[in-house]
Amino acid sequence: MRTGIFLPWATRGNPKVSERSVAGVGCVDYTIRIMGSGFPDTIHTVTFDCWSTLIYEAKAPVPSDARERKRSANERRAARLAAALAHEPQLVAAAFAAAWKEHQRAWHRRESFTGEHMLDHTLRMLSLQLTAAQRAELLRTLEDEISVRHVQAAMGARELLAHLRARGIRTALICDTGFTPGRVVRQLLADQGLLELLELTIFSDEIGVTKPHPRAFASALAGLGVAAQGAVHVGDIRRSDIAGARAAGMGSVRFTGLHDDHDDGDGGAAGVIDCAAAGCTPPCARPEADQVVSTYTALRALLEPRLVAVSS
């Protein structure tokens, strides 16, 4: 994989960065109706969130560059984008940060704001224009950036998924994507031996909405051909995973092993912004899950006595 590309031919306009104001952001126009019938006595299907639930970006065992190791994924992308465009790094970083913030606002609106949208937003703020071929090459480079990072499966995730499949339990992934699209996440899951254990993968960049939008959960249930009753969703974020699962009538489990979205948390540990930063009026619903576990061992113990296989 290339480590970067150079686009000196990008058409430049005014180099100043000015963030576009966005009206109506947040959750004002979409209020989740919290249903949920409690944790089911029998479970035929388990769906999973992706990041901070099944996989995560771990620290490299032997960092080759200490400064690079401290950079976030988006800081690395911004640096790569500045190099590719031969543009002032600070201006590019500011424009990219504004694009990421708009992605986060869109996420609070249950809209998919993909890497493609973020790149275009950044280029507009920098008054730069690329040809279609240049844009596609740059986008692919930025989307694939995570592929060279140290992505790992959560401890026990692979073993639990294998056990569920062996018991005849239906499994699916419901994943919100940012700059890393479903195309790349599938490969990351395959590299960790997880993809083959998931019957269905649902990605926000492919269906056009993010959790907790009802379509995200309905797509998984319909794709598997199962009912919400007796299905359980496992995830880490209350306003997306838990609110969405409960609104869909599914059981819910909050996994805290990699990120704990507790009452006082603002989401910063998971790389997300809270409702205050997103401008949500009223704030997003953040219901607690039916069950909370911190390890996959505890999750298996919770699920095991309730598992009942259904025909696929």
DSSP string, 183-205: HHHHHHHHHTT-GGG-SEEEEHH
88 and 132 both lie in a single domain: yes
164 shares its domain with 263: yes
Q: Is 39 within the bounds of a domain?
A: no
On whether residue 293 sits in a domain, the answer given is: yes
Q: Is residue 66 part of a domain?
A: yes
Least confident of 24-38, 54-68, 113-127, 174-188: 24-38
Rounded distance, CA 133 to CA 130, Å?
8
Pair 186, 118 in one domain: no
| Band of pLDDT at residue 116, cut at 50, 70 and 90 | confident
Same domain, 164 and 257: yes
Q: What is the pLDDT of residues 6-17, one digit of tens each?
A: 343 344 444 443
Compute the distance between CA of residue 119 and CA of residue 80 in angstroms, rounded to an integer. Answer: 12
Give residue-wise pLDDT tens across range 265-284. Answer: 554 544 566 777 777 777 77
- Clarify whether residues 195 and 52 are in a common domain: yes
Same domain for 165 and 136? no
Q: Answer with the one of 124, 148, 172 that is the final residue of a domain.
A: 148
DSSP H helices, 109-203, are: 115-125, 132-143, 157-166, 182-191
Is position 103 within any domain?
Answer: yes
Q: Are residues 262 and 289 in the same domain?
A: yes
Residue 219 is part of which domain span? Answer: 45-58+153-306
Q: For 207-231, what is each residue's pLDDT tens digit?
A: 988 899 999 999 999 999 999 999 9
Tell me how many domains the chain contains: 2
Q: Which of residues 148, 175, 194 is at a domain's end?
A: 148
